[in-house]
């Protein structure tokens, strides 16, 4: 009897387990299905299958985008133009999964009532393999906020939201590459700037850091050079400019005041941008990669109107946020060396107070020029040698006094930096206040 009962229990348990398994399987399958009440999709094409898109509107020539061998979109009509790849990807995304707002008719016998007998907009998608899908757009729906659409060869008529139509109804101006310079920022190796009567050339060193090469080798403020590159990337044509605006720009450019000429070099070659400003402070530019004269924003125009000193590194030390491992300080007749061992600062056998050494490091890190001089000398008042980056970077700065001014120079560099007197005073004060480590006092036990 016991064996029989055990067998019955096993059978019941197996049935229950099977029921739970089947229930979960059905539930999971249902989760992947759209709701029965959900409006049907108008179009569903995998994005990687798009090969060509044609947009036909009114009597205008078709706008045709086609993928090249590298998988990049190119505009082949109404004329050949480079394409904004992000804008093209957005168009593909909108077409690849187009939802309807509702199904209007399963089979319409009168397409004219929806404006679909003579569509105002037709979009043809050619997939890999040659299959072509035609999407037809009709009138705006009477309730507003939507448009009638159908697929060629499909009797159904749908409405889609107006924003979906807007995301598809594009012009050449919407989809063309609007950049006036098309260099690859990651592969940029040279930037040349002629502005304010100066010619400056920037290049990358072995650490991939920007340096000033011309008019002579100088340390560059990498952040300022990158800001210049960003301004060049922001130089774009105005897509809303009318024919009259284009004619005005072309007329104004020859007589406008030169502001800057910039050349960039990357793996693809060299490009040039010539920027000028008219008497009304309007900025115009002519690019080597875009036809015609384009109006620039003041933000970009002013950002290119820079001189040599705007790009020089005003910091005396380059260790930045790399924690130094060694400090050698000479202030007058006092000379001391601090070496970091683990998380402790040592001076010979003595452990030093960490916060006081850190205060000195911060003052050295912040030491900056107020301006640059062609030459200068004086009596030495302070020297600091900082070792950082796991011993790979050693920087020595000598501070001297010339009358009421403080000057500084980096070892083996010709540049002369003028310093703020208060900053020098605070640096020397921080150096004087470095002290030995004092262990915390033990609390006396209460009797």
Which residues does 106 contact at the CB level (< 8 Å), separation at least 6? 155, 156
Q: Give the tens place of pLDDT for each residue, 90-118.
A: 999 999 999 999 999 999 889 999 999 99
| Closest residue by Cα to residue 359 from 302, 289, 433, 288 | 433
pLDDT at 444: 60
pLDDT at 378: 87
Which residues does 329 contact at the CB level (< 8 Å), separation at least 6? 335, 336, 337, 338, 360, 382, 383, 384, 431
CB 266 within 8 A of CB 187: yes
CATH topology of domain 41-175: Immunoglobulin-like (2.60.40)
Q: Where are the chain's structural domains?
A: 41-175, 185-311, 326-432
pLDDT at 58: 82
CATH class, 326-432 region? mainly beta
Cβ count near 81 (within 10 Å): 17
Quick one: pLDDT band at residue 373, thresholds 50, 70, 90? Answer: very high
Q: Do domains 41-175 and 326-432 have the same CATH topology?
A: yes
Give dist(CA 347, CA 338) in Å, integer: 5
Position with higher pLDDT, 56 vs 59 = 56
Residue 437, both tokens: 């480590």
Give dist(CA 411, CA 169) in Å, integer: 63
Quick one: pLDDT band at residue 414, thresholds 50, 70, 90? Answer: confident
Q: Give the tens place of pLDDT for each residue, 260-294.
A: 999 999 999 999 999 999 999 999 999 999 889 99
pLDDT at 68: 93
Question: Up-side HSE of residue 393: CA atoms within 13 Å toward CB?
Answer: 14
376 burial class (0-12, 13-18, 19+ CB within 10 angstroms)?
middle
pLDDT at 136: 96
With both helix axes pointing from N to C terminus, report the angle between 421-432 and 354-366 in degrees, rounded to the nearest 10. Answer: 160
Give dist(CA 105, CA 199) in Å, integer: 69
Q: Give the tens place of pLDDT for each residue, 298-312.
A: 999 999 999 999 999
Q: Give the tens place of pLDDT for each residue, 238-259.
A: 877 788 988 999 999 999 999 9
Residue 237 has pLDDT above 50, yes or no: yes
CB 77 within 8 A of CB 61: yes
pLDDT at 29: 45
| Closest residue by Cα to residue 382 from 334, 349, 417 | 334
Residue 188 has pLDDT above 70, yes or no: yes
pLDDT at 375: 87
């Amino acid at each position: 009897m016991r064996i029989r009962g055990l067998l019955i229990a096993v059978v019941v348990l197996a049935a229950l387990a099977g029921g739970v398994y089947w229930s979960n399987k059905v539930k999971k399958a249902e989760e992947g299905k759209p709701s029965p009440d959900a409006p049907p999709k108008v179009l569903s094409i995998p994005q990687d299958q798009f090969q060509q898109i044609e947009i036909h509107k009114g009597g205008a020539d078709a706008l045709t985008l086609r993928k090249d061998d590298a998988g990049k979109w190119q505009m082949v009509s109404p004329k050949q133009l480079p394409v904004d790849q992000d804008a093209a990807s957005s168009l593909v995304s909108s077409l690849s999964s187009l939802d309807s707002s509702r199904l209007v008719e399963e089979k319409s016998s009168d397409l004219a009532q929806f404006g679909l007998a003579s569509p105002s907009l037709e979009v043809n998608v050619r997939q890999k393999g040659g299959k072509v899908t035609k999407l037809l757009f009709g009138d705006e729906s009477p309730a507003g906020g939507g448009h009638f659409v159908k697929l060629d060869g499909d009797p159904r008529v749908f409405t889609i939201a107006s924003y979906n139509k807007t995301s598809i109804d594009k012009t050449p101006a919407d989809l063309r590459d609007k950049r006036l310079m098309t260099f690859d920022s990651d592969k940029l190796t040279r930037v040349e700037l002629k502005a304010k009567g100066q010619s400056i050339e920037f290049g990358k060193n072995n650490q991939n850091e920007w340096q000033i090469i011309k008019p002579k080798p100088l340390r560059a403020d990498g952040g300022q050079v990158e800001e210049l590159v960003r301004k060049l990337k922001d130089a774009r044509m105005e897509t809303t400019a009318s024919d009259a605006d284009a004619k005005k720009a072309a007329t104004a450019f020859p007589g406008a005041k030169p502001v800057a000429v910039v050349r960039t070099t990357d793996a693809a070659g060299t490009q040039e941008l010539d920027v000028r400003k008219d008497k009304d402070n309007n900025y115009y530019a002519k690019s080597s990669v875009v036809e015609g004269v384009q109006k620039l924003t003041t933000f970009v125009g002013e950002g290119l109107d820079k001189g040599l000193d705007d790009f020089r590194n005003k910091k005396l030390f380059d260790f930045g946020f790399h924690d130094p491992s060694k400090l050698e300080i000479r202030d007058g007749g006092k000379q001391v060396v601090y070496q970091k061992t683990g998380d402790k600062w040592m001076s010979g056998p003595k452990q030093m107070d960490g916060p006081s050494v850190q205060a000195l490091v911060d003052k050295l890190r912040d030491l900056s020029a107020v301006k640059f001089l062609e030459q200068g000398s004086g009596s030495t008042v302070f020297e600091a040698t900082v070792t950082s980056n796991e011993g790979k970077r050693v920087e020595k700065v000598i501070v001297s006094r010339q009358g009421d001014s403080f000057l500084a120079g980096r070892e083996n560099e010709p540049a002369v930096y003028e310093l703020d007197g208060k900053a020098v005073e605070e640096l020397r004060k921080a150096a004087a206040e470095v002290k030995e480590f004092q262990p915390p006092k033990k609390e006396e036990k209460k009797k």
